[in-house]
Structure 1
């Protein structure tokens, strides 16, 4: 029977073409919206995790209270030992030391006098050790505009916009001024190995990345680190696992009242990320639900109108002796077939557009020049497993529902009334 109905749908374009087109449009828009929301919200979460929060982060209690000020005088001492302990206790995570700092960099002229100065925010990460994934987390290779990655001690990366502002090129020298862990003046000479553009205005205004060993030497932080970040090997944040790990770690120090005792925080416990995650999840689900509901109403009306136009056909079929239940069942099957055909085509179209937006993205940097949020200026869609089936919800259900409501008229149809209409 399915083959017979399918031939009827494909053969009678007046009955099936419009519903299939409407279903295609609705499903493709549903898939596209879902992928777009997942991409925009997901990229901001990944960028914050890679640059700032990690999936979990270990700090001293005192540092955690003032983390936004980067108080390296409250940093972790014995960071190497603590990092090794974390690796042994939680081997399914990648643990890395970092130092965040602020400072001033001075560019000299040919006579060694100050040519230009500018404030920067800095990251000290492990760039030179074999097997380090830090360059990948910071997406340095793809973000590199000029020059190369640091390959030896004393080399640094600066943001390209900052370099253009002060007319700095790879190979130029500069002096980094800051403060040591003890609060005294710190300065160290570096060579610009390359310039990078991260795609976030907050970072691109003025940032510097140096190797961890150089930062420890320059800031007087040997065997110390401001933060120790942990990342799941899957590179995906898992709140349940993060909660279990932080609970286990913090339980070891509950009796320790020292303000310099380590404390572990989840990603969602830092910098207002809990509100962001909850808000983005709620709003994303709400927007998709509202859109799916709206498309369902549109497609439902399409199915309803299509069924009502066939009112005379139902009467003729009844007059020929076909049972009402059989007519009603074939109407439902037709709705399923039309919904499936439209949903498959619509999902393919939606995924194709989403893939393009995932690879190319949309540049919103012009509207974020004064933004203080750490989010990419080029936003992209993200194709997730949900995208492969979410369009079938309005695509099939609504058409079937429309046909089901229209089919109620079948049971009200009377053969005697049909002959009067035919006269």
Structure 2
């Protein structure tokens, strides 16, 4: 009889839990710090209802979670670098509900929302705290002058490392994460472009935090970017899948984005045409459509040129998924006026490619392939009012006699040739090198006149 009663209690307990009779539990709190906001993620045992409000003097944020209990130690949460000085909790309504209070050390705009379970996490409650960040000053668009090269602007390259923070992307053997690998490649590309005169690279993220897809293209627009390159690593349930790929916007994706821009033109502050662009807001529908179509056509043409060059460079050392540049309607490719490409650097779920992708040497090699493609395109077709355009017009100083270059760690002969505007064959000939292209750190190379 006692056993039967115990069984009844157990079954009743399971039924109450399934019916929501027991409180949801908060098991863990994670904090992600971005330049413009901090994200707090509360891991939950089940879906919850919550309310958010703020209090003044002192500034606090209050999160009331219905029918929930805390099963985590808030004192262990690392709040360094966040706008929160202290996080504490208490119970309400006779212990049925949970109240979480965040004491603030600076003014923020809070936003909360729930996330459903995915492959990595269960139910979550997200609290974003947006800081007051001064808007980035617009880049100067001074008129170029042969007598004043200092007035010329650099070509801005927006480098976008995919995923981040709560979103790890694909995960490979040994728990290597896409978000970590692609940030490493993005930083390598950023370093290469920083060394190249006439270019100004800018990272959409330079840390482990999440940025929404639309926010990534919005950031590129605020940067006045001349090009946007998004870096990813593929994942697939079949671990045999392998190969890198380069993507541009498909015709269908371009068509849908044009429709979105035209539909919101009356209420949008967005411009087309890059630096010093054109607003669609005051244009009639026909003219707006013509301007947008011209901008997207030019942008997609440049995107394809850059993508083909990068695809060719990558194919020299990496297995490519397809023999040509591929097309899709990815959101991050949908800037109407900014040439945009997406580079899938390989399948991180493939054991061999994962081992390569987490290697710093391979990350640099991948960055060099992207860098060489970007440089080749903009050297041939530099935007107006840029230092590279001024150089192309023959106003810059050219070398009449050979110079030299000392090899540093990570250099390759092809990258040295690209940086100095000379052909690989000319560089080989000037230094008596064979096709093996073997160079040593510290070796001094002659750079022939370009």
TM-score, normalising length: structure 2: 0.19
TM-score, normalised to structure 1's length?
0.20
- Where is the helix percentage greater, Structure 1 or Structure 2? 1
Q: Please identify which structure carries the higher strand content.
A: 2
Highest RCO, 1 vs 2 (Cα 8 Å, sep ≥ 6): 1
Radius of gyration: which is bigger? 1
